[in-house]
Amino acid sequence: MIDLDPDYPRKYRIYESEEQMELAAHYKVTQLYIDKFAYGVQGLYNQHLLASPSYEGERDLKTYPEYSSYTRDSLKKVIEFSNRCIHLPEKPYFRGDYHTNYKNACRLLKDTAEKLLPLEEKRLDLLGLESCAGDLPTCAEYEELDKKAISIYKQFQSELWDMAESAPYLAN
């Protein structure tokens, strides 16, 4: 919407200088897609878990059907929108430290998505196999792959929180 407004940033000069809305918007879109991915992965896992004959745990698991079909697409969107964020040219109304910090956070998101994408492709392939999807808790290959992906995601979260210590607006 910012790109489509011919009066931007004139009408919003005070808001932009105080809130850094354009930078934040580029970052937040990317962050929303990584969150959509995480909910989707959890939902798809829970769907298969609930259908597994050997699963005897809690039955009230969230399946996030609005996200679970889009995990691959969500990661691709993280990469697409993080590229936009990373390549956003510096503008006179940007605070230099904000511009740098948002770009670094977007690089972290992009790197994480690029690491997760091939694992997600493999995970989806495994869920398409009856030998794995038929009884998820007994699929050792899935569990191993899941541990790798969780480790990458937790590392991302840790690095993002480290960044947010010096730039708290990244955590909002």
At 9 the pLDDT is: 58
With beta carbons less than 8 A apart as the criterion, state whether 49 and 61 touch. Answer: yes
Segments in 11-170 forming alpha helices (H)? 13-19, 21-51, 65-68, 71-86, 96-127, 130-133, 140-166
At 8 the pLDDT is: 61
- pLDDT tens digits, one per residue of 51-90: 999 999 999 999 999 999 999 999 999 999 999 999 999 8
- The model's pTM is 0.88
At which residue do the structure tokens 């937790």 appear?
A: 154
With beta carbons less than 8 A apart as the criterion, state whether 68 and 44 touch. Answer: yes
- pLDDT tens digits, one per residue of 95-137: 889 999 999 999 999 999 999 999 999 999 999 999 999 999 9
